[in-house]
Amino acid sequence: MTNNLRFKTSKFIDETYRVSFKFNNKTYFGFKGDTLASALLANGIHLVGRSFKYHRPRGIMTSGSEEPNAIIQLHDNSSRTEPNVRATEVEIYEGLVASSQNCWPSVNFDIGGINNLLSPILPAGFYYKTFMWPASFWEKYEYFIRKSAGLGKSPKVADPDIYEHKYIHCDVLVIGAGISGIMAAKMAAKNGFKTLLVDEKSYLGGSSIYDNSEFSKINNQITSSWLEKEINEISKLENLEIKIRTSVAAFHEYNFLLARENLTDHLPINQRENKVRQRLLKIRAKKVITATGSIERPLIFDNNDRPGILLSSAIKKYIDLYGVACGENNILFTNNDTAYETAMSLIQRGIKINAIIDNREQIDSKISYEVEKNNIEIYKGYTVVDTCGYRRINKISIMKLSKDGQTVTGDKTKLNCDCLGVSGGWTPAVHLFTQSGGKLKFREEDQVFIPNVYPSDQISVGSCNGDFGLEEIISNTLSSIKKFLDIDNSEYKTVETISGLNQSKRNIWLLPSDKSIGKTKSFVDYQNDATAKDIKLALREGFRSIEHVKRYTTTGMGTDQGKLGNMHALGIISETAGTKMGEHGTTTFRPPYTPLTFGTIVGRNVGEFFDIFRRTPIHDWHVANNAEFENVGQWKRAWYYPKDNENMHQAVQRESKAARDSAGILDASTLGKIDIQGTDASEFLNRVYTNAWSKLAVGKCRYGLMLNEDGMVYDDGVTTRLGENHYIMTTTTGGAANVLGKLEDYLQTEWPELDVYLSSVTDHYATISVCGPNSKKIVSKVIPDLDLSDEKFPHMSFKNAKIDNIKCRVMRISFTGEHSYEINIQANFGKSVWEKCMEAGKDFNITPYGTETMHLLRAEKGFIIVGQDTDATLTPIDLQMDWIVSKKKYDFIGKRSLYRSDTIREDRKQLVGLLTENPEEVLEEGAQIVADIKKSPIEMLGHVTSSYYSPNLKKSIALGVVKGGKNMLGQKLIIPMENKNINVTVADPVFLDKEGERLNAKL
Amino acid sequence: MFLINCPFCGEREQSEFKAGGEAHIVRPKQPTELSDDEWAEYLFMRKNIKGIQFERWNHVHGCRKWFNMVRDTSNDQIKAVYKMGEKPPVK
Ligand SMILES: [Zn+2]
């Protein structure tokens, strides 16, 4: 069966190098140079998959990246497995394993095939209409839909391959190495432009490189020979870089392009070790020349999707490039001259052509006369109305087209075949051009969209620009590139071309049938099983916009983005709606042009490089002491330090008790620190904080609240006046970068007259906070020279000090309500000072505590955490922090917003304390708060923002925001949970030591 | 991705920059004198033009300077960049 399908005359196939591979568990042979598709075809295999919705048998349809049907799973059951790969793009290698993916249990017997019989009840939008109701059933439907509709299988283990990203800057990028691309690259490189030429294929020259026809010649040479010499010449050019197997995925504004360079996919697995598999090229080009060619259009007729139906250009390529015949009894069906080129290739190899069906009544070209001379019957003015054959086409029915092409007449003739080549003309590959923001225009005479308005310094040449004839392609490429690059010397003296083709075409978007439209299956989108009938149904149901029709019918929404059928969909829409083409717009082609692997997208940013972690200078100590960590912004912060198999709750209870009873120590290095200097520093703080700063004495600290201009709380922290014109501001851990950005914004744009300089010094200092009744004794051991008496060093003040001759700043400030000190020291001494404190605190049971205990301790005191208890909808007044808002200051950021009609409403959500009726019951953070559960719908009054069990108070405490909560002290509210209602009482948010006795106790 | 000509550093990738909304909105010198409506006008109302728009940009992963940009939002063409406090070079 196979021998008569392979012609050992192609120079692209190395028949001395036999390659074995597995497809659906069966071993086959091909040759080096084959794609999986060409090797399967050489083995007589067309049927490679099932369609998405109806599970119809589908075969290889094209020979390139536009393939909608031959979508396979590579390396099944291995860590390298990859779904949705086009068999037409896979270069085979020894040991390749591939399988069909859209079939279950097998490609030849597929249970989903029943959908084909049910198709009258599976119209467009079926999935939307049916399975969405009742909503609760969706999970059940989904299981079966997913199982029988193959979307491929994603790998279950880590990808063993290496990927990387690379930036490339060039003067000229040429996309596509067909005839136009090769000429453009030569002209650019020879004229001194640093040029990059990329092509998605493994060879250069595009479809012309295997064009050996006598009917198209350049300078009296066969096209392929002329082009080979050109390629040979440019490969020696110094400022031209050529990359094959490189597919441009995205063309963004400002000539920024992403391309995937495939480096090892064509190699046997054992030769891929330690090599980069794929590289994402980030290209910034001064000028871009797009020469992406065109894609042959299929024809839309009943049952146009059977295995054995291919694009006529694909049949030609399989013969001329791979030496493979797609069938032994071929019929070509066309509306233009390109199918005759395929016919000549078949004739030259002695492959049988049973007939040619041509939509056109008149055919007048040298090549068609030559085909006719070979005694091949040409049915002029005919169309295919139906096809037969379940797993492979075996028959077609043809009828005569009426004059207007809208109906068929006369008798039906049946013709046998095992392969049908279709050609509906060509669609310029404008995908990248439109991605870049380019605007298209519709060319009425041959019904194509071509580039019209270029958004950047770029140009399209060759057939992607709508030039289809050889002479047009060459002369237009020469003249446009000369103009585009502004060069005098084109490098080409004279280029004379001969072509036996005529550009006439009879375009009929949906070919008529003797059956009513409802009884036909004329596929427009093969991958998603959208038919002409579906599109007409969508229009009948009132959809007009192409984007809506697309989503309703799923046309163009497959992994191929409808590269073959989108034009037909547009054509059918405009014919049915009676509008002009282009009036409905075109669908948007989105990046990537062909699917990218996740590996390529992430490159080296995997594992620990996926996201950056920031670690404090004391981090190693926390690790060595069994800390559990939590992520806060990019920081890894010690969360709690479990001892002897404690769980978090147990550890936090122990830590927080120790901090209040004796001494606790916290690594606070992650707090943002901004150094503020300048003669206007005080004035600046006055403007950015709600409270007054000018009277703060040198050596004193003050807590500040920062608002947005809308009056909502943005950040908070303690700022210390280090000198007359020198402050250090602390911010929340997560807010540090944003606060700096905001302050810089105001300084640069609103108040450039202020003499203020900001520097982020977060990473420069380690911050160690020692708190508790014994903190004073511990710190005095660590810094014996420092006078810690309340007179010399009262709460909210700061001292410069030295530990072993290393300068440090000590603040007496507290976030726990306990007597406490914060030691700030140059980061690299952080760990040793921490260890010193631990040593000094040994006798006092100094207990390291993490963020969880810190949160509990501050909640006992009713101190807010910006971002946990606030969410950018709360003013300081809502937080019951009126005391921090200066009444005297004329202005500060957000002041005016505090008395907008909305912010003075009494029923805003306000921060309150919550106590549960049962003191052992701990509320869930985020739980809803209501007053009346009988009312329907229940009115939501607010939610719980912080909740803990306090070992110091021996009861559950919580903070929450409640509508009008300020005036609800003592009122009973309800927290409805899944299986119970929890009764709570609104309380003062300060649960412990409201008078501050602990803070001010004489120690 | 845009290629942005920072007035202080020259051409850099867009990923180094942060967009900061409409430009030439001056913070009122005396907010307390304003009615709710006037303050809301400053605070909330933005033009969001399809076409030529004046906007603020910050070279956040570079010199950290704020500057202004004239951009056609319909096609993302950058018509001009200029420093804070300068008059727009185009209308
Ligand atoms: Zn800059």
Amino acid at A39: A
Output the pLDDT for position A611. 86
The reply to whether A762 falls in a domain is yes
Output the pLDDT for position A495. 87
As a whole number of angstroms, the distance between CA A741 and CA B65 comes to 10
Q: For residue range A11-67, list pLDDT tens digits in order.
A: 899 989 999 999 999 999 999 999 999 999 999 999 998 887 788 899 999 999 999
A167 shares contact with chain B (CB less than 8 Å): no
CB interface of B with A, residues 22-61, below 8 Å = 26-28, 30-32, 34, 36, 39-40, 43, 56, 58, 60
> B9 to chain A nearest CA, in Å?
17
Q: Domain containing A752: what range?
A: 670-832
The answer on A822 and A676 residing in a single domain is: yes
Mean pLDDT of A421-444: 95
Counting the structural domains of chain A, the total is: 4
A750 shares contact with chain B (CB less than 8 Å): yes
**CA–centroid distance, residue B64 to ligand 1 (Å):** 6
Q: Inter-chain contact B31–A896, Cβ cutoff 8 Å?
A: yes
From chain A, the residues in CB contact with B34 under 8 A are 896
What integer best gives the mean pLDDT of chain B?
95
The answer on A61 and A176 residing in a single domain is: no
Which comes out higher in pLDDT, residue A152 or A505?
A: A505
Collapse the DSSP code of A55 into the 3-class scheme (helix H, G, I; strand E, B; otherwise coil) and give the result.
coil
The answer on A180 and A89 residing in a single domain is: no
- A502-511 in b/e burial notation, b at 16+ Cβ within 10 A? bbebbbbbbb
Check: CB of residue A889 under 8 Å from CB of residue A921. no
pTM of the predicted structure, to 2 decimals: 0.88
Q: Inter-chain contact A455–B75, Cβ cutoff 8 Å?
A: yes
B21 shares contact with chain A (CB less than 8 Å): no
Output the pLDDT for position A105. 60
The reply to whether A448 falls in a domain is yes
Who among A256, A745, A891 is closest to B66 (CB)?
A745
Mean pLDDT of A956-962: 98
Q: For residue range A527-545, list pLDDT tens digits in order.
A: 888 999 999 999 999 988 8
Beta strand extents in A183-232 (DSSP E only): 195-198, 216-218, 221-222
As a whole number of angstroms, the distance between CA A920 and CA A944 comes to 17
Q: Inter-chain contact B3–A284, Cβ cutoff 8 Å?
A: yes
Q: Inter-chain contact A896–B27, Cβ cutoff 8 Å?
A: no
Mean pLDDT of A441-456: 94
What CATH number did the domain enclosing A217 receive?
Answer: 3.50.50.60
Half-sphere exposure of A379 (CA within 13 A, CB side): 23
Tokens representing residue B65 in the block: 């300077």
**Sign of the four-CA dihedral A380, A385, A390, A391:** positive
Output the pLDDT for position A770. 98
As a whole number of angstroms, the distance between CA A518 and CA A537 comes to 10
Output the pLDDT for position A960. 98
Taking alpha carbons only, the member of B54, B51, B45 closest to residue B23 is B54
The answer on A176 and A98 residing in a single domain is: no
The reply to whether A145 falls in a domain is no
Who among B2, B36, B75 is closest to A900 (CB)?
B36
What CATH number did the domain enclosing A979 receive?
Answer: 2.40.30.110
The answer on A681 and A783 residing in a single domain is: yes
The reply to whether A409 falls in a domain is no
Output the pLDDT for position A762. 97
Q: For residue range A897-922, list pLDDT tens digits in order.
A: 999 999 999 999 999 999 999 999 99
Q: Inter-chain contact B3–A750, Cβ cutoff 8 Å?
A: no
Q: Are strands A71-74 and A26-32 parallel, antiparallel or unpaired?
A: unpaired
Q: For residue range A794-834, list pLDDT tens digits in order.
A: 999 999 999 999 999 999 999 999 999 999 999 999 999 99
Q: In the 8-state DSSP scheme, what is residue B50?
A: S
The interface predicted TM-score of the complex, written ipTM, equals 0.98
* CA distances (Å), origin A96, targets A270, A581, A914: 11, 45, 65
Q: In the 8-state DSSP scheme, what is residue A965?
A: G
Q: For residue range B19-74, list pLDDT tens digits in order.
A: 999 999 999 999 999 999 999 999 999 999 999 999 999 999 999 999 999 999 99
Taking alpha carbons only, the member of A787, A777, A856, A761 closest to residue A815 is A856
Domain-terminating residue out of A482, A499, A516: A499
A455 shares contact with chain B (CB less than 8 Å): yes
Is residue A56 packed enough to be buried (19+ CB in 10 Å), middle (13-18) or exposed (0-12)?
buried
Domain-terminating residue out of A117, A143, A176: A117
* CA distances (Å), origin A279, targets A173, A500, A917: 17, 42, 62
> A244 to chain B nearest CA, in Å?
25
Residue A452 has pLDDT above 50, yes or no: yes
H or E element in which residue A30 lies: strand A26-32
The answer on A794 and A705 residing in a single domain is: yes
Which residue in A739, A740, A896, A900 has the most chain B C-beta atoms within 10 A of its own C-beta, making it the best mutation to test that interface?
A896
Taking alpha carbons only, the member of A28, A39, A87 closest to residue A62 is A87
Output the pLDDT for position A550. 87
Which residue in A749, A759, A891 has the most chain B C-beta atoms within 10 A of its own C-beta, making it the best mutation to test that interface?
A749
The reply to whether A825 falls in a domain is yes
The reply to whether A77 falls in a domain is yes
The answer on A932 and A827 residing in a single domain is: no
Which residue in B27, B30, B71 has the most chain A C-beta atoms within 10 A of its own C-beta, making it the best mutation to test that interface?
B27
Q: In the 8-state DSSP scheme, what is residue A749?
A: I
Q: For residue range A100-144, list pLDDT tens digits in order.
A: 886 656 666 666 666 666 666 566 665 555 555 555 555 555 555
Residue B91 has pLDDT above 80, yes or no: no
CATH number attached to the domain at B3-83: 3.30.2270.10
| Chain B nearest-CA residue for A282 | B1
The answer on A182 and A64 residing in a single domain is: no
From chain A, the residues in CB contact with B36 under 8 A are 900-901
Mean pLDDT of A358-383: 96
Output the pLDDT for position A54. 83
What integer best gives the mean pLDDT of chain A?
93
Tokens representing residue A581 in the block: 């083409």
| Phi, psi of A815, rounded to the nearest 5 degrees | -110, 5
CB atoms within 10 A of CB A258: 22
What CATH number did the domain enclosing A22 receive?
Answer: 3.10.20.440
The reply to whether A125 falls in a domain is no
pLDDT band at A155 (very low <50, low <70, confident <90, very high): confident
Domain-terminating residue out of A832, A861, A891: A832
**CA–centroid distance, residue A169 to ligand 1 (Å):** 20
The answer on A178 and A107 residing in a single domain is: no
Tokens representing residue A258 in the block: 């992403």
From chain B, the residues in CB contact with A437 under 8 A are 75-76
Is residue A978 packed enough to be buried (19+ CB in 10 Å), middle (13-18) or exposed (0-12)?
exposed
As a whole number of angstroms, the distance between CA A921 and CA A928 comes to 16
Output the pLDDT for position A1. 41
Q: For residue range A683-721, list pLDDT tens digits in order.
A: 999 999 999 998 999 999 999 999 999 999 999 999 999
Output the pLDDT for position A544. 82
The reply to whether A506 falls in a domain is no
Output the pLDDT for position A118. 63
Output the pLDDT for position B89. 86
